[in-house]
Amino acid sequence: MAEKYRERAAVRAQEQIAAGIFSMWLEAGEIARAARPGQFISIYSNDSGRLLPRPISICETDPERGLLRIVYRVAGKGTEEFSQAQAGDAFDILGPLGNGFPTERCPQGKKAFLIGGGIGIPPMVELSKSLAGEVQVIAGYRDELFLTEELSANGTLYLATEDGSAGTKGNVLDCIRGNGLSADVIYACGPTPMLRAVKAYAQEQGIECWLSLEERMACGIGACLACVCRSKEIDEHSQVHNKRICKEGPVFRAEDVEL
Ligand SMILES: Cc1cc2nc3c(=O)[nH]c(=O)nc-3n(C[C@H](O)[C@H](O)[C@H](O)COP(=O)(O)OP(=O)(O)OC[C@H]3O[C@@H](n4cnc5c(N)ncnc54)[C@H](O)[C@@H]3O)c2cc1C
Ligand code: FES
């Protein structure tokens, strides 16, 4: 099993990049050097009343400078606290966690769709830097855009917005169909209805597909079973049709999970 580290990570910089969406660079050299695209970190609150860490995907890393970036939406108390941090403040973090995307499935000569919806968009930044094949990013937003510069730096970026204010009006699949795009492999992260639709599309088109699931978590390290999803195969450990998203995931082959 890959090494994970617990670090006291200082905030190098933080900025708001869209309404309720924040970008934070953390000084966490061990994790930044070990992380693969699609893995996540657990961030602990500095408030002793909030014991459980919050899982947040690694958006990108700068291993040489020992930095990693997270991009997150303020959803409740934990993320609200993180959003108020300033350079020099620090959080305990654990990572890299989970398995990450299989980048070797898109070698040179192959084409990939990197499909991100809402807060599932951030991990696509590091993934887009890591594939040898052709990168086509399809990013679906409710309205306001974020990370578009980073996402277009290593591939072609296609946008879908619910209100039609940018790119295709509609969802990520409307965007793929509307632009007549094709791919050999799909990597996707986003809300469950989007993942369900992407899985059905991949099946219909016969395209290999990898999904990153973002369920609620508690321990983040495989110990509590708070994050299980239904799987096709029986889990060796529990002998039931369950997989722990934090441990066996968050990335799964689409046909191996029921959504
Ligand atoms: C592997 C993984 C990667 C993630 N990556 C990101 C990311 O890159 N950026 C980001 O903004 N968020 C990400 N999330 C979701 C993030 O963990 C939650 O938004 C966060 O834990 C909420 O904490 P809170 O204390 O602010 O809110 P809470 O008070 O705990 O919850 C506030 C609201 O958010 C909902 N919520 C809590 N956890 C989740 C969850 N896991 N998924 C969906 N809804 C949730 C609750 O039901 C509630 O309505 C990720 C989750 C997982 C499991
Ligand atoms: S969050 Fe505890 S087992 Fe996954």
Is the confidence at residue 1, as pLDDT, over 70? no
Taking only the tens place, the pLDDT of each residue in 106-133 is: 999 999 999 999 999 999 999 999 999 9
Model pTM?
0.95
Dist CA 235 CA 221 (whole Å): 16
Q: Which ligand is nearest to the CA of 211?
A: 1
pLDDT value of residue 240: 77
Residues lining ligand 1, judged by CB closer than 6 Å?
A: 40, 54-57, 72-73, 75-79, 119, 122, 214-217, 250
Mean pLDDT over 126-146 rounds to 97
10 Å Cβ neighbour count for 191?
A: 13
CB neighbours of residue 202 within 10 Å:
22
Which tokens is 186 given? 């799909």
What pLDDT, in 10s, does the model give residues 17-36? Answer: 999 999 999 999 999 999 99
Q: Which domains does the chain have, with CATH numbers?
A: 5-97 (2.40.30.10), 103-214 (3.40.50.80), 215-252+255-259 (2.10.240.10)
224: DSSP letter: S
237 has pLDDT over 70: no
* Average pLDDT of the segment spanning 70-85: 97
Which of 16, 17, 73, 214 maximizes ligand 1 atoms within 8 Å of its Cβ, making it the mutation to test the pocket?
214
* 3-state SS class at 174: helix
Question: Ligand 2 mean position to 247 CA, how many Å?
Answer: 7
Whether 256 and 234 have beta carbons less than 8 Å apart is answered as no
